[in-house]
């Protein structure tokens, strides 16, 4: 006899009389829109070590207070009663009190990304998201994935591992030769000429962590759209975006960029808990993927398994969200991070990051022996500034800064640069202090 969703919930759940819905009520972020007009109030929400200049916040976020509080609230519930808390949080309470926290996270993410909650899958990182996309696509021998020479290891490797299984090929092209001299026209032209009849997927990155270049995603998406006008639906080119360093730093609605799939960790510019991420795609595109990891986020595959047959309905975003037990306190607190961002205001966040980065780049150009690799034009750069100091390796420059309690970083690529990344945890005085120190060590 086929098992219905209601019968499944009754069979799989226990009463949560001792974990009432009031225990899960998410607290409203105590900072308010008026309070966050003062950037020092935003900075105060982060529990960063005093006495240091933190210019690498893009690497892995320090949780702001609203997110810390949310994590701790869920942690206490989990420690007090793990089984009942998890079942309640996954919407499995037979008394109908379940919260379905993953869905609430998808709702919060969708409000920020644009689109609908059912267009969002939950992951733990950009790396996992890219792997789920490329491994899930139905490609075969003769198909090509076109990407760029500027991608991070995670992007190239996700493609390589996928094509080893499906027999497709990967081709890499440079969108620019000199990062500082790159242009929209140059990148659009190169992509246009590189797409071949065999190309089925184009994989790009919104902001290159190796050079600081921000791609004109909408313009590149238009190139792909123009190619698809002459192709049938089966052979259309899909655009996959690694969006991690654009999401949270740019005033853009992800759902309107023109991409088919966007993968991004949310533990960087979005300020979400460490070990969290998302994939966004239009609802119709999820049927193009085959799930890689069994999901706990949808009843359909589980009920089909219990009834002894494969799922009969179409793949949805929730099917791509990996199952298994999670650091639930981190995943569920993602919603508070998106709300925190919304309270500050996406436009204000992007303008603040741009202003601090412009101040930093302008100052770097006035330091002898320092050469900026990243474009100075805000239209082609975001929150990461790559540079070199004449006569020093990037590691030497970063070490000298670290000796003076300035946290910078190097880019993990064959050609490496020193990096500064002014963000919301910084102010103008800190940028000037970092520039002063660079003048001394250069």
Q: Domains of the chain: which residue ranges?
A: 108-343, 345-441
Residue 92: the pLDDT is: 73
| Same fold yes or no, 108-343 and 345-441 | no
Q: Which residues of the chain have pLDDT under 70?
A: 1-35, 93-98
Residue 345: the pLDDT is: 96
State the number of CA atoms in the 13 A half-sphere of 375 facing the CB: 20
What's the fold here for domain 108-343?
3.40.640
Residue 10: the pLDDT is: 42
Find out whether 384 and 212 touch, Cβ atoms under 8 Å.
Answer: yes
Q: CATH classification of 345-441, choosing from 3.90.1640.10, 3.90.1150.10, 3.40.50.1000, 3.40.640.10? A: 3.90.1150.10
**Cα–Cα–Cα angle for 173, 358, 347, rounded to 5 degrees:** 90
Q: Among all chains, which residue has been given the structure tokens 């500027």?
A: 150
Residue 9: the pLDDT is: 42
Query: Rounded to an integer, what distance in angstroms lies between the CA atom of residue 32 and that of residue 321?
Result: 32
Residue 62: the pLDDT is: 97
Find out whether 58 and 383 touch, Cβ atoms under 8 Å.
Answer: yes
Residue 26: the pLDDT is: 58
Which tokens go with 94? 């037979």
Measured in degrees and rounded to the nearest 5, phi and psi for residue 2 equal -65, 140
Give the SS3 label for residue 76. helix
């Amino acid at each position: 006899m086929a098992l219905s969703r209601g019968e499944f919930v009754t069979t799989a759940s226990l009463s949560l009389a001792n974990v009432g819905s009031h225990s899960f009520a998410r607290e409203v972020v105590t900072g308010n829109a008026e309070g966050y007009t003062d950037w020092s109030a935003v900075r105060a929400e982060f529990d960063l070590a005093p006495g240091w200049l933190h210019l690498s916040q893009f690497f892995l976020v320090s949780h702001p207070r609203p997110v810390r509080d949310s994590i701790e609230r869920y942690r206490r519930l989990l420690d007090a009663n793990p089984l009942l808390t998890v079942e309640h949080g996954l919407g499995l309470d037979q008394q109908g009190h379940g919260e379905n926290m993953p869905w609430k996270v998808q709702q919060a993410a969708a409000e920020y990304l644009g689109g609908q909650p059912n267009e969002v899958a939950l992951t733990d990182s950009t790396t996992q998201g890219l792997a789920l996309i490329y491994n899930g696509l139905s490609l075969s021998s003769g198909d090509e994935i076109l990407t760029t020479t500027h991608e991070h290891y995670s992007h190239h490797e996700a493609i390589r591992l996928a094509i080893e299984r499906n027999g497709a090929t990967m081709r890499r092209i440079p969108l620019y030769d000199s990062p500082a001299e790159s242009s929209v026209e140059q990148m659009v032209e190169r992509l246009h000429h590189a797409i071949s009849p065999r190309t089925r997927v184009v994989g790009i990155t919104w902001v290159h962590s190796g050079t600081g270049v921000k791609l004109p995603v909408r313009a590149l998406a238009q190139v792909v759209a123009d190619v698809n006008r002459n192709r049938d639906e089966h052979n259309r080119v899909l655009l996959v975006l690694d969006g991690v360093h654009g999401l949270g730093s740019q005033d853009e609605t992800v759902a309107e960029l023109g991409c088919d799939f966007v993968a991004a960790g949310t533990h960087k510019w979005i300020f979400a808990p460490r070990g969290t991420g998302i994939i966004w795609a239009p609802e119709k595109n999820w049927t193009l993927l085959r799930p890689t990891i069994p999901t706990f986020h949808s009843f359909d595959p589980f009920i089909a398994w219990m009834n002894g047959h494969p799922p009969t309905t179409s793949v949805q975003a929730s099917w791509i969200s990996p199952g298994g037990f999670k650091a639930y306190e981190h995943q569920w607190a993602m919603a508070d991070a998106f709300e925190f961002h919304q309270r500050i205001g996406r436009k204000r966040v992007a303008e603040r990051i741009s202003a601090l980065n412009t101040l930093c780049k302008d100052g770097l150009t006035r330091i002898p022996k320092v050469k900026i690799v990243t474009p100075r034009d805000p239209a082609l750069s975001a929150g990461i500034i790559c540079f070199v100091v004449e006569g020093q390796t990037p590691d030497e420059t970063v070490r000298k800064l670290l000796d003076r309690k300035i946290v910078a970083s190097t880019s993990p690529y064959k050609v490496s640069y020193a990096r500064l990344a002014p963000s919301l945890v910084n102010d103008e005085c800190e940028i000037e202090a970092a520039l002063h120190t660079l003048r001394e060590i250069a």
